[in-house]
Structure 1
Amino acid sequence: MVGEQPAFGKAVGNLFPGGPANVSWERALEGLGAEDAARVPEMLPHSVAQIVAHVAFWQDFLLEEAGGGAPLRPEYAAGGWPAPGPWEEEQARLLTGQGRLRALARDPAFTATPTREGHPWAAMLANFAGHGLYHLGQVVTIRQALGLWPPPGGGDTW
């Protein structure tokens, strides 16, 4: 298992910024101003800003727990959907948190340790990386619905 840890860390760590098969979070948010980020397309439940605030909330939760804290889990799912703060701050919080989670995923000593619930951190980080990719896809769909895709730097076109 020890020989597999660097491969795991690289694979899972690479998913936090968006993964090799997806546009990155940075690219997906590129060129999106606060007003457009707050728009909720017709027939969709969330804005990009709401998605970003949600993912950043759970990143912060996970990072606090990884640092030895004991954050309180919201009683209901709605508690994990805070109102977005200022757009530039939400983006920075999301991207900074991803960098920190990526580093943790690449740390074999950390990923082998258990969470408070006794699950390996490797499993928790892999699960959360999937959560982020799910919501990254929603961001792309929301931007498409708003006619704001691809971003200025381009998106996946093949």
Structure 2
Amino acid sequence: MEQNAALRSHLTDLLAARQAHCTFPDAVAHMPTGRRGERPDALPYSVWELVEHIRRAQRDILDYCRHSDYEAGEWPHDYWPDTTAPSTPTAWDESVAQVQDDQEALCDLVADETIDLYNTVPSSDEHTYLREAMLVADHTAYHVGQIVTVRRQLGLWPPSGDAE
């Protein structure tokens, strides 16, 4: 396999494939509706807060890669939800779907051979597409691990198809 194609393949796998740990869909599978906003003792976040943070941060980086007029949000307000639980089951479903849609969009961006992964993104003179893809993969993996930890503390890991 040619080096550029191999790099793109490795990056898309890093973003979306099950490799050394579970994926985002694995981590959120069968999360009981009534427990999505529950915080275990001694942990400062719920599964909902982590899912929504992943969604917001990933979307922010996707926008950073796409738009030359990108402006960063206000930290931490624009990157973390204001509530520990989703307002409705639909809000949960939409957030989870958006994480997966934006992940797919990032994979498409990485796979796009018209984009040189070593070039800087349109809104930066120092950050490359390669850096941003690796940043999303690293950030998401970190918080997916936290989701698993929260679920373990709540007695909800491994996920059960009967949990809802």
Corresponding residue SS for 1:21: coil
Aligned pairs, number = 151
Shift of the alpha carbon at 1:18?
5.2
* Residue 12 to residue 39, structure 1, CA distance change in 2 (3 Å): same
Does structure 1 retain, via aligned residues, the 8 Å contact 2:62–2:106?
A: yes
Aligned ranges 1:77-88 → 2 under 5 Å: 77-83=76-82, 84=86, 86-88=91-93
Matched with 1:143 is 151
* Residue 82 to residue 71, structure 1, CA distance change in 2 (3 Å): farther
Give the letter for the 1:94 counterpart: V
Does structure 2 retain, via aligned residues, the 8 Å contact 1:18–1:133?
A: no
Q: How large is the Cα RMSD of the aligned pairs?
A: 1.9
Shift of the alpha carbon at 1:52?
0.8
Matched with 1:156 is none
Does structure 2 retain, via aligned residues, the 8 Å contact 1:28–1:139?
A: yes
User: Matched residues in 2 for 1:141 and 1:18: separation?
Assistant: 20
Instruction: Name whichever structure is richer in helix by fraction.
Output: 1
User: Matched residues in 2 for 1:37 and 1:13: separation?
Assistant: 28
Structure 1 residue ranges, 4+ long, deviating more than 4 angstroms after superposition: none
Aligned ranges 1:1-158 → 2 under 5 Å: 3-17=2-16, 19-68=18-67, 70-83=69-82, 84=86, 86-110=91-115, 111-115=117-121, 116-118=123-125, 119-152=127-160
Q: TM-score, normalised by structure 2?
A: 0.82
Q: Which runs of 5+ in 1 are unaligned?
A: 154-158
User: Matched residues in 2 for 1:35 and 1:72: separation?
Assistant: 35
Identical columns (%): 27
Q: TM-score, normalised by structure 1?
A: 0.85
Give the letter for the 1:52 counterpart: V
Q: Which runs of 5+ in 2 are unaligned?
A: none
